[in-house]
Amino acid sequence: MKHFSYQKKQLHIENIPLSTLIKTYGSPTYVYSYAALKEAYESYQKAFKPLNALLCYSMKCNSNLSILRSFINLGSGIDIVSGGELFRALKAGADPKKIVFSGVGKNAEEMTYALKKGILMFNVESAQELALLDQVALKLKKQAPIALRINPNIDPKTHPYITTGMKKSKFGIQYEEAFNLYQEAQQRKGIHIRGIDCHIGSQLTQVGPFVDALERVLALVDKIQSQGIALEYLDLGGGLGIRYNEEKPPTPQAYARAIGKALSAYKLKLILEPGRSLMGNAGALLTQVLYTKDRDNKRFVIVDAAMNDLIRPAFYQSYHEILPLAQKSGKKEKVDVVGPICETGDFLATDRALPKLQSGDTLAVLSAGAYGFSMASHYNTRPKAAEVLVKGSKHYLIRKRENLKDLIKGEEIPKALQ
């Protein structure tokens, strides 16, 4: 969170006081630091250069066009999971040859779209998906480039909702079935095998599970290649964690070191799909205190941002540091920071020690650059927040705050109801 710091008692993003941004753009507003995302990207680039990896930014964590363009300009490919994401990525100027398409439920329309655009590969997650992709490709007189996404049954030791590579989860192809499916894929005329893929989970704070997953995948690579099936790519997915509170996640360099040795014996091109570790700590959600309310030994600080803006605390009980924009001294008190939504689960923090806050105070909810805006909804018919990018001494509105008309876009009352 080094790009957010107090200077002269005012919380800054790089060299701009956040109070200036909230005055200019209103509240709630997401703010992102270009320097932070660039630094995060370059640390991956540097660490994985010896392994000649292709980095594909996992856009589900933040799909704003300007954020995508920033990564594309830095040379990144994109990891997509829907036709909508493909549309956004192309609008932002992504090179289809650097797009990988993951996801358990791709439909024929999405497959057609991606095939027509000529993406690098589909990470296929089931035998049925493979069969459909084969059909769709043949209809277009094309071959679909694929990797099979293997479920290596490794515990990533993270939150159960973001654990994806264990047997009980819906993701990927069971390890034991993968070899047969490669043989089947080899027979299919509409399929061109390019690689192998796995993604075991998100917010990993140790490298061990990545290494274990890689070992399992490489054992399968040996078996597949011994049958004369050539593989060019090995996609290890995303998942490197970030520091929200006390976590000490490994650096990209430690990650590269941990997997480098095992990979060096193979002529596979490595693909990584990092999301959170590129954007998480590059962004914050700015909000303003509306009211405070006291209840038996409990104080609520009611702010104008809610679970529709940032769902992570409500959904995963996740911790986001909260700092007042104007630094305050004095005794801290434990409060719940809550939003205006009609749900008891609508909180940004519970039992959090914060300096005494009052109506009109402004706050930054940190580490909100990933899975913040991209998971926002209109619940309670609330317009989505504005998004602002800070680059050098300049700030840019990269998504307007929605207005009331935006909230009913596409709706119609049929004649029968008039």
61 noted as active-site residue: no
27's enclosing H/E stretch is: none
Q: How far is the CB of 22 from ligand LLP (least distance, A)?
A: 24
Q: How far is the CB of 257 from ligand LLP (least distance, A)?
A: 18
Of the pair 239, 283, the CB lying nearest ligand LLP is at 239
Of the pair 312, 395, the CB lying nearest ligand LLP is at 312
In whole angstroms, give the CA distance from residue 139 to residue 112: 9
**Contact at 8 Å (CB) between 242 and 200?**
no
Of the pair 28, 156, the CB lying nearest ligand LLP is at 156
CA distance to 172, 228, 306, per residue, from 126 (Å): 7, 22, 37
DSSP SS3 for 276: helix
In whole angstroms, give the CA distance from residue 150 to residue 83: 22
In the complex, which residues of this chain contact ligand LLP (CB under 6 A)?
58, 61, 79, 102, 162, 199, 202-203, 237-240, 273-277, 312, 316, 371
Q: How far is the CB of 299 from ligand LLP (least distance, A)?
A: 27
Q: How far is the CB of 115 from ligand LLP (least distance, A)?
A: 20
Of the pair 41, 371, the CB lying nearest ligand LLP is at 371
Of the pair 25, 30, the CB lying nearest ligand LLP is at 30
In whole angstroms, give the CA distance from residue 348 to residue 341: 12
Catalytic residue chosen out of the listed positions 56, 61, 198, 342: 342
Burial of 119: CB neighbours in 10 Å, binned 0-12, 13-18, 19+: buried
Through-space distance between the first and last CA atoms of the chain, rounded to whole angstroms: 54
**Contact at 8 Å (CB) between 280 and 367?**
yes
Q: Rounded to 5, what percent of the chain is helix, strand, coil? A: 35, 25, 40
Q: How far is the CB of 221 from ligand LLP (least distance, A)?
A: 19
Which residue blocks in 2-33 are alpha helix, DSSP H? 18-25
Strand order in the sheet with 4-7: 4-7, 10-13, 16-17
**What phi, psi does 139 have (nearest 5°)?**
-60, -35
Three state DSSP letters for 123-161: EECCHHHHHHHHHHHHHCCCCEEEEEEEECCCCCCCCHH
Dihedral angle, C-alpha 181, 182, 185, 187, nearest 10 °: -110
Of the pair 159, 257, the CB lying nearest ligand LLP is at 159
For residue 71, give the nearest of 55, 88, 87 by alpha carbon: 55
Q: How far is the CB of 237 from ligand LLP (least distance, A)?
A: 4
Q: How far is the CB of 227 from ligand LLP (least distance, A)?
A: 26
Of the pair 152, 190, the CB lying nearest ligand LLP is at 152
Active site residues: 342
